[in-house]
Structure 1
């Protein structure tokens, strides 16, 4: 038995649910969903790439003047909160409101959040704007991703290629947004840059409305409706955490210094609760429980991957700003632009990966192998920064840093579509949106851990920081790949 044969997962066909209208062999609604996600990522990354700078730049430079360690912790926690909110968005779409409707109103919330950031100054604008964006992204991102899975039958070999094309839209938005906001921030200020992110989200909303009526029937129904008799309890459960957070903030128990630690604990508890719920659900069949267990190594691998990738917005955001010579000839590039180029590289690589997987068909590497290889590429990128250690000041070559950005991109495109596809394929039929939310918890944990890890970075010991991170990442990824192989073989 070959490696590929060993990881095949038996599934029942769902061809009756797949849309009939196609474009270049893929469902036409893939264009709607990928386009919506492109513009949402345009606005999201357009903000995220300059958020840490806004927090720690001095008041005279247009920032808020926070301590650097606090700024990277808050930036990481913001990303973590974004993905924790996926649980709420997934639950609403699974139990209360159809996914396509949740996405529509969530897009409006995101647009409002970016407008608040652009128009309201100081800490008040940051707090209100980020809360709106967190709430909106929680409803949009998880459900758009889940709806992509609804476009394909479980045994459709186009699935990986479809997710790669979908991720190409994500990568393009993740590149274009920060390019524009980075240039605007360095030339005319932060608030006009935030305004550009708002325009991007407006385009995303328009894109979604244009294809809204053509989304497949599965997006218009609530998979597991909550009885109306339980709605009051659901509202109470939703209000209780918000009230607890408000009390913690006003009492001082939750503050900028410990928010990353608190959020990490919340993510761990939420992850364990989600796995327990999926495994114990009466609507989860025995064979599906085996698939959920097989997903655990993939879940942990994804957590490791996002911890590494989100260093781009924490440790490496500071690194590029303070340790890299950004002048090429007579041109000085914005620090945000260098981080953004990772998204450009990913955009270029995504269709090449999709073409490769399509041509290989059932001979392509299994998802676990793709994820391990991708994490190894990110570890190699971290090793590049270890090689650069030893200099002082902003003297390191931007060209070498771009090599590291390319390795980040190559790893990202290897990992993310594979994890997304495995998440959809291994999900119980009655809990697809919730399984997708479980995947987004790896992004929440990765972003928060990236903020915590960034707080240990010190230019004086950066060789140890980068080399240990690279080595540990490869070893852990190898162990998790072995666990995935064993678990999948048992399912088979």
Structure 2
């Protein structure tokens, strides 16, 4: 099929039939995800490794909580990051600044200078991701303003393939970190982000001016108010940090608990604000009620799912036979199982949802996701029992089964959640609701990091079984209220799709 001139970038080049600007954003996101998932695969192993092995020697419970809060904050800052781009920097500059800050964070972690450089690095990565992650997706959408939705969907399918390719980073970062030097692994993640920045700068001319200016730039009065509020917030935070340091309560555990509370309180306050807003109509409030239940289900799902980087990663390192044809595979490589399965099953699920049409409601898909995540932890409980208290290493196939169940759940919830968020969003909050969706991940990851502290006192078998059964029961409960959710969401008014 011929490609119109509007589809072509400078020089007539296209990216799988799309504007060449999509290639710029594709590779930027791919390298950012490379750095993120590469770090994620080795972070907890580095934190608990003894100083004799160049690790921080952190207690497992504290390390899991820190990992959970780190992942939570990465998604938590998507909401303010989108606001900064929309009102101050513009999406294009926000992505560039975010990428540079992320790279500096990985460089900080690559310096073997102790815990201080690690905490500084994690903070910089969080702040940078808040600027880059939400705004690069926005720029993809803006490349297709005025074009049909099918073409936009095709572009996002390509874009998300870049995410999955980048998430295979543990093959390289994990190997370097575990087999050679932790800080070399962190440095590799920094190089990945640097490559993303270079090609973003070189390819920016293909973006057609997308994101060059803020959509709703602050006027002088608003800017002055913003600076005053920012100064007050920073001053309060500084006072609290100094007070905690003086009283001896400024510990990693205290910080993770405080940030977990923040990750829970903010969505509660935000939903309360939307429900009370005079800009939200009565019909939109009804749909928002349904969305709250889906939000809670998503938070529970991510609480289970994102423990892959913590408890499951440690289990792989300590209790799984990773010997492959006489070669010892790094435990971090098990983090590649999920993205490989996502790539393998994505096309099938895209076909399945078209085939089922309106017969498979959003509530049913979320309920199935919770059941799958719960069953994955039931399998983990059985695998833990098979280790006989850690004296026997189990087959890698146990983890493959766990990640298969979680992937089936993820493909039922994650893309569906993105879609339903845009569909149920009140008009006045349409541009902010994607950030609200990310708050579900933030809340789930933060709570999951704290819940993981129970693994040591309970033991692996009980820990995985209790969480697994709880998730399954939550999924079953959601199934029981599917009809009510459909009514609240207006799905029961959608015509059934007949397939021949």
The TM-score normalised by the length of structure 1 is 0.86
Aligned residue number for residue 297 of structure 1? 293
Distance 1:58 1:192 in 2: 17
- 1:265-344 counterparts in 2 under 5 A? 265-281=261-277, 284=280, 287-344=283-340
Q: 1:45 to 1:488 in 2, by over 3 A?
A: same
Aligned residue number for residue 485 of structure 1? 486
Residue 173 in structure 1 maps to residue 166 in structure 2: yes
Residue 348 in structure 1 maps to residue 348 in structure 2: no
Give the alignment partner of residue 446 of structure 2, picking from 448, 459, 471: 448
The alpha carbon displacement at 1:402 in A equals 1.6
Give the alignment partner of residue 183 of structure 1, picking from 175, 181, 188: 175
Q: Any unmatched runs of 5+ in structure 1?
A: 1-18
- 1:387-406 counterparts in 2 under 5 A? 387-390=382-385, 391-393=388-390, 394-406=392-404
Q: Any unmatched runs of 5+ in structure 2?
A: 1-5, 9-13, 494-500
Secondary structure of the residue that 1:258 maps to in structure 2?
helix
Aligned residue number for residue 464 of structure 1? 462
Distance 1:226 1:191 in 2: 41
1:330-380 CA-to-partner distances (Å, cap 9, x unmatched) read: 1111111112322222222234433544x5395573443333323322222
Residue 46 in structure 1 maps to residue 38 in structure 2: yes
Contact 2:361 2:491 in 1 (8 A): no
Aligned residue number for residue 80 of structure 2? 88
What is the count of residue pairs matched by the alignment?
Answer: 472
Contact 1:47 1:194 in 2 (8 A): yes
Contact 2:39 2:173 in 1 (8 A): yes
Q: 1:442 to 1:59 in 2, by over 3 A?
A: same
Contact 1:291 1:491 in 2 (8 A): no
Aligned residue number for residue 71 of structure 1? 63
Q: Which piece of structure 1 moves more, 42-51 or 158-167?
A: 158-167
Distance 2:476 2:278 in 1: 34
Distance 2:336 2:233 in 1: 35
User: CA-atom RMSD, angstroms?
Assistant: 3.0
Q: 1:433 to 1:29 in 2, by over 3 A?
A: farther
Secondary structure of the residue that 1:455 maps to in structure 2?
helix
Q: 1:121 to 1:400 in 2, by over 3 A?
A: same
Distance 1:428 1:221 in 2: 25
Distance 1:32 1:436 in 2: 23
The TM-score normalised by the length of structure 2 is 0.85
Give the alignment partner of residue 366 of structure 2, picking from 341, 366, 371: 371
Q: 1:477 to 1:287 in 2, by over 3 A?
A: same
Contact 2:7 2:18 in 1 (8 A): no
Structure having greater relative contact order (Cα 8 Å, sep ≥ 6): 1
Q: 1:284 to 1:20 in 2, by over 3 A?
A: farther
The alpha carbon displacement at 1:324 in A equals 1.6
The alpha carbon displacement at 1:25 in A equals 7.4
Q: 1:288 to 1:139 in 2, by over 3 A?
A: farther
The alpha carbon displacement at 1:60 in A equals 0.9
Contact 1:249 1:255 in 2 (8 A): no
Distance 1:57 1:465 in 2: 23
